Amino acid sequence: MITYDRDKCIRCGTCLDVCPQLTIDWGTDGIPIQSRPHDCMECGACAMNCPAAAVHVEAGVGCFGALVNETLFGKKDGCG
Ligand code: SF4
Ligand code: SF4
């Protein structure tokens, strides 16, 4: 799962372009939103490629976290 610093975002669209899971869309206010946070695999590509350092990846919440929980603890959290 990711969060944005809305004041830093320059609306370049890079985070949408680099997300391998296509979880990010444009919000109605022109700031990106993560429309499918549970599909986020926490790869960090959006944060690493953001020219404004406006993206923060919250580890252990999205798809990757679900896979880790399933592997380590047998929890079936869903990871589409
Ligand atoms: S890559 Fe960064 S600056 Fe560009 S739209 Fe996404 S959050 Fe905004
Ligand atoms: S961390 Fe990876 S999968 Fe998650 S939103 Fe960013 S680019 Fe997409």
The residue whose CB lies within 8 Å of the most ligand 2 atoms, and thus the one to mutate among 17, 19, 26, is 19
Residue 79, in any domain of the structure: no
Q: Is residue 9 part of a domain?
A: yes
pTM of the predicted protein model:
0.81
- Is 16 part of a structural domain of the chain? yes
pLDDT tens, residue by residue, 14-70: 999 999 999 999 999 999 999 998 899 999 999 999 999 999 998 765 566 667 767
In terms of pLDDT, which residue wins out, 5 or 60?
Answer: 5
Give the per-residue pLDDT at 74: 76
For the chain, how many structural domains are there in total?
1
10 Å CB burial of residue 56 (0-12, 13-18, 19+) is: middle
CA of 17 to the centre of ligand 2 (A): 10
Q: What is the predicted pLDDT for the residue at 18?
A: 97
CATH code (residue 40):
3.30.70.20
Structural Rg of the chain based on CA atoms: 13
For 24, the token pair is 């990010």
Residue position matching structure tokens 């004041």: 7
What is the CA(80)–ligand 1 centre distance, in A?
24
Whether 5 contacts 47, CB under 8 Å: no
Q: Report the b/e string of 34-43 with b at 16+ CB within 10 A.
A: beebbbbbbb
pLDDT at 73: 75
From ligand 2's centre to the CA of 15, what distance in Å?
Answer: 8
